[in-house]
Amino acid sequence: MSNEASTALDNSASIASYIDHTLLKPEASEAEVRQICAEAVEYKFKSVCVNPLWVKTVTKALKGSGVLTCSVVGFPLGATPSDVKAFEARGAVLDGADEIDMVINIAAARAGDKGALVDDITTVAEAVHAGGAILKVIIETSLLNDEQKILACAASVEAGADFVKTSTGFNGGGATVEDVALMRKTVGPDLGVKASGGVRSLADAQAMIAAGATRIGASSGIAIVKGEQGSSAY
């Protein structure tokens, strides 16, 4: 475990720098989006993660704060053509997103089609990197067996992604210590691993970081840093 991870495990406040403070529910209002931006600035979270509709709002609200803007594409199903995901990603980056979390072609992962996965991820990675942003790849672990998870992670590495991520939080299940450890083992030390879906407490976050996560996606970020128990499903 790195010294950074060790510090985070001992200090709830330092875990804030791992957290993507997340609001992805489709009915989210502008007032709610602005609220999570204010919270992210107050608690010094790593980023605010929202649907593409809100990227401009978030970027403006976070300007000068040091908190990043994160958005999602192909979300939450991943079942859109790669060029459509890339178009969506380019738009989000132009609107100010620093990071993009894409959902893979889950059917291709379940079919064992690595080539299709690499093509899907590469198409989006090229669009994201051209805009100077980073790409996280959501493999949706709850829908894959271990062999398929390994395949999706290997495809992400080959395609030039910056992170692999466990879950959308919308398709059942969520991050587990076992999945995070498997993903870290597969991608090696250089790619980021984001644990998301069901991380609701400081203990949850600590366990994910100990297993190899370098980012936590959560809508319970405040509860996590306060050492309390969050109630959100994401």
SS (H, E, C) the chain: CCHHHHHHHHCHHHHHHHEEEEECCCCCCHHHHHHHHHHHHHHCCCEEEECHHHHHHHHHHHCCCCCEEEEEECCCCCCCCHHHHHHHHHHHHHCCCCEEEEECCHHHHHHCCHHHHHHHHHHHHHHHHHCCCEEEEECCHHHCCHHHHHHHHHHHHHHCCCEEECCCCCCCCCCCHHHHHHHHHHHCCCCEEEEECCCCEHHHHHHHHHHCCCEEEECCHHHHHHCCECCCCC
Cα angle for residues 89, 192, 119 (degrees, 5° grid): 45
pLDDT of amino acid 83: 98
Measure the CA–CA gap between 96 and 117, rounded to whole angstroms: 27
* Contact of 150 with 182, CB cutoff 8 Å: yes
| Catalytic choice (95, 101, 162, 179) | 101
- Cis (ω within 30 of 0) for the bond into 76? yes
Tens digit of pLDDT per residue, the chain (234 long)?
444 444 445 566 689 999 999 999 999 999 999 999 999 999 999 999 999 999 999 999 999 999 999 999 999 999 999 999 999 999 999 999 999 999 999 999 999 999 999 999 999 999 999 999 999 999 999 999 999 999 999 999 999 999 999 999 998 889 999 999 999 999 999 999 999 999 999 999 999 999 999 999 999 999 999 988 776 655
One-letter amino acid at 47 equals: S
Q: Is 165 a catalytic residue?
A: yes
pLDDT for res 6: 47
Which residue in the list 98, 162, 194, 204 is annotated as catalytic? 194
pTM: predicted TM-score of the whole model, two decimal places: 0.93
Cα dihedral 79, 218, 47, 60, rounded to 10, equals 80
194 is catalytic: yes
Options 85, 165, 179, 204, the catalytic residue: 165
